[in-house]
């Protein structure tokens, strides 16, 4: 099967979006080869049209995308057909707000009235940013999350559809957060443009938002991220389990590794072409095949530790937030009580007047509540995601042991006497003695995860 290319769905994203969603690039998302906009697979010649066929003049562009303010500004700043289409849309104020550009009410009604027959067929529903041509989209580089992640066909079937749906939801969440951050950073300007909704005023506002998002530094981007967003990101990684543990990885590896000694170079090339945690561990194992079992085990352990470190790198921030938030709440409580007792010290009458003490007590309680509101969901998320990582590590551990058991004891690796298989390495006695398993222990990787989870 030919290798699939890398999807261009996330090209041209603002740097702030990439920093919030590094998973969009690591590892690269494969292209949906059959969903080609230039040669739409849903369009059929009139003589071959089916009830589900799309019209050439519409394709799947029969929807009004929600374009966040900074994306609309990006299209305006690029000029050309995109700027013309956005300005034409701004001439109709319905659906336009400081957040961005949504569908007008009459468009939503037309979508509902068309039922299942309008999508992909009704020219009256065509996207306002349609520009014709191969891609057909005037705002292609600044298109919304839905337009970036919706495909009519998926090479991986239902699993691929679910993955793209999840990443589309996550990307839309990030777009909304950045749009709201623009409004918060310039609340006065947003209120002014809302009060004078002229196309030129909207255009200036959206262009400012695009420039503001470009200027966001790392600290500002991190402030936008929340525990809920981190959970969604990690769920996305879990859905992309095939990138961590590809379903046919071992089968394909064995197919190119008929002779472990002679074909080791091919096996290493196979792993290099499929980057991921499992490939990294197998690469280390293949390089040590034929060497003493202790060296093989050590290489697997070291590779496993490196890969689990990568899987857990986003959990550390959750652990820090979950630990520090209640401490900050406690600190606020202490300051509140200090304020209350200071009031008592200054005014001898305050003991009988609750209104003089209420401010300090209120401050103490509100800071405690704020710290717990942040800490509780963060700690829950940390433990949930740590459990997911541990399950992945357990599965990689089992797959690696099965592979090493088969090849480390192979006569083609260890040699033999007149074609007889070499003796397998001595096994350790255990309740599972005789089950055919080698004493290869990738377990320290799993134990490391368990230890980290137990110690927060």
Residue 419 CA: distances (Å) to CA of 115, 135, 244, 412, 425: 71, 62, 38, 9, 18
The whole-number pLDDT of residue 447 equals 39
Say how far apart CA 171 and CA 144 lie, in whole Å.
9
The whole-number pLDDT of residue 144 equals 92
Query: Within a domain: residue 88?
Result: yes
Could you tell me if 349 and 364 lie in one domain?
yes
Query: Within a domain: residue 87?
Result: yes
Most confident of 3-17, 76-90, 326-340: 76-90
The whole-number pLDDT of residue 237 equals 56
Could you tell me if 118 and 149 lie in one domain?
yes
Q: How many domains does the chain have?
A: 2
Q: What is the pLDDT of residues 386-427, one digit of tens each?
A: 877 787 788 888 888 887 777 765 554 444 443 333 444 333
Say how far apart CA 78 and CA 85 lie, in whole Å.
12
The whole-number pLDDT of residue 27 equals 55
Query: Within a domain: residue 157?
Result: yes
- For 366, the domain range is 226-414+437-456
Could you tell me if 206 and 98 lie in one domain?
yes
Question: What is this structure's pTM?
Answer: 0.56
The whole-number pLDDT of residue 26 equals 59
Say how far apart CA 50 and CA 320 lie, in whole Å.
56
Task: Give 136's strand partners.
Answer: 132
Query: Within a domain: residue 5?
Result: no
Query: Within a domain: residue 9?
Result: no
Could you tell me if 35 and 84 lie in one domain?
yes
Could you tell me if 221 and 258 lie in one domain?
no
User: What is the mean pLDDT of the segment spanning 121-145?
Assistant: 85
Could you tell me if 251 and 239 lie in one domain?
yes
Closest CA to 67 of 53, 57, 82: 82
Q: Locate 271 and state its tokens.
A: 């792993």
Query: Within a domain: residue 429?
Result: no
Are the CB atoms for 282 and 406 separated by under 8 Å? no
Closest CA to 263 of 410, 448, 50: 410
The whole-number pLDDT of residue 434 equals 35
Could you tell me if 93 and 148 lie in one domain?
yes
The whole-number pLDDT of residue 456 equals 37
Q: Which residue among 204, 225, 246 closes a domain? A: 225
User: What is the mean pLDDT of the segment spanning 126-155?
Assistant: 85
The whole-number pLDDT of residue 78 equals 92
Query: Within a domain: residue 1?
Result: no
Say how far apart CA 453 and CA 390 lie, in whole Å.
9
Q: SS3 letters for the chain?
A: CCCCCECCCCCCCCHHHHHHCHHHCCCCCECCCCCCCCCCCCECCHHHCCCCCECCCCCCCCCCCCEEHHHHHHHHHHCHHHHHHHHHHHCCCCCEECCEECCCHHHHHHHHHHCCCCCCCCHHHCCCCEEECCCEECCHHHCCHHHHHCCCCCCCHHHHHHHHHHHHHHHHHHHHHHHHHHHHHCHHHHHHHHHCCCHHHHHHHHHHHHHHHHHCCHHHHHHHCCHHHHHHHHHHHHHCHHHHCCCCHHHHHHHHCCCCCCCHHHHHHHHHCCCCHHHHHHHHHHHHCCCCHHHHHHHHHHHHHHHHHHHCCCHHHHHHHHHHHHHHHHHHHHHHHHHHHHHHHHCHHHHHCHHHHHHHHHHHHHHHHHHHHHHHHHHHHHHHHHHHHHHHHHHHHHHHHHHHHHHHCCHHHHCEECCEECCCCCCCCCCCCCCCCCCCCCHHHHHHHHHHHHCC
Q: Which residue among 207, 225, 243 closes a domain? A: 225
Q: Does residue 450 carry a pLDDT above 70?
A: no
Most confident of 72-76, 160-164, 408-412, 439-443: 72-76
Q: Locate 337 and state its tokens.
A: 């009580």
Could you tell me if 118 and 267 lie in one domain?
no
Neighbours of 172 (CB within 10 A): 17
- The count of residues in the chain is 456
How high does pLDDT run on average in the chain?
Answer: 76
Of 48-57, 195-204, 371-380, the least confident? 48-57
| pLDDT: which is higher, 51 or 267 | 267
Percentage, residues of the chain above pLDDT 90 = 13
């Amino acid at each position: 099967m030919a290798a699939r290319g890398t999807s261009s769905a996330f090209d041209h994203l603002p740097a702030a979006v990439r920093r919030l969603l590094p998973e969009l690039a690591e590892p690269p998302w494969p292209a949906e080869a059959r969903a080609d906009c230039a040669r739409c697979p849903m369009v059929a010649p009139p003589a071959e049209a089916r009830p589900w066929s799309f019209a050439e003049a519409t394709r799947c562009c029969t929807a009004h995308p929600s374009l966040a303010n900074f994306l609309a500004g990006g299209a305006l700043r690029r000029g050309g057909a995109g700027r013309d289409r956005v300005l034409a849309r701004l001439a109709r104020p319905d659906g336009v707000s400081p957040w961005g550009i949504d569908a007008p009410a009459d468009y939503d009604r037309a979508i509902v009235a068309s039922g299942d027959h309008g999508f992909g067929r009704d020219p009256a529903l065509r996207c306002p940013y349609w520009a014709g041509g191969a891609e057909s989209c005037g705002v292609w580089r600044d298109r919304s999350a839905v337009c970036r992640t919706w495909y009519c066909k998926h090479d991986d079937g239902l699993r691929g559809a679910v993955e793209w749906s999840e990443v589309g939801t996550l990307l839309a969440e990030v777009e909304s957060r950045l749009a709201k951050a623009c409004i918060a950073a310039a609340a006065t300007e947003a209120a002014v443009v809302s009060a004078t909704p002229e196309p030129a005023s909207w255009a200036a506002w959206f262009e400012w938002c695009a420039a503001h998002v470009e200027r966001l530094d790392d600290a500002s981007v991190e402030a936008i991220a929340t525990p809920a967003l981190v959970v969604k990101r990690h769920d996305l990684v879990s859905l992309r389990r095939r990138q961590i543990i590809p379903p046919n990885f071992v089968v394909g590896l064995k197919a190119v590794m008929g002779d472990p000694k002679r074909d080791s170079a091919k096996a290493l090339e196979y792993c290099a072409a499929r980057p991921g945690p499992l490939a990294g561990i197998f690469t280390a194992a293949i390089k040590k095949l034929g060497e003493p079992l202790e060296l093989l085990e050590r290489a697997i352990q070291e590779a496993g530790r490196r890969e689990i470190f990568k899987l857990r790198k986003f959990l550390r921030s959750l652990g820090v937030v979950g630990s520090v938030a209640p401490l900050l709440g406690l600190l606020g409580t202490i300051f509140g009580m200090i304020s209350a007792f200071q009031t008592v010290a200054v005014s001898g009458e305050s003991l009988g007047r609750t209104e003089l003490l209420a401010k300090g007590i209120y401050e103490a309680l509100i800071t405690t509540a704020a710290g717990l509101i942040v800490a509780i969901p963060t700690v829950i998320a940390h433990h949930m995601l740590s459990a997911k990582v541990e399950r992945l590590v357990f599965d990689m551990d089992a797959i690696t042991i099965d592979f090493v058991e088969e090849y480390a004891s192979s006569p083609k690796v260890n040699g033999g006497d007149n074609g007889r298989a070499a003796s397998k390495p001595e096994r350790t006695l255990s309740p599972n003695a005789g089950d055919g398993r080698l004493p290869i222990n990738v377990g320290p990787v799993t134990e490391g995860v368990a230890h980290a989870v137990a110690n927060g």
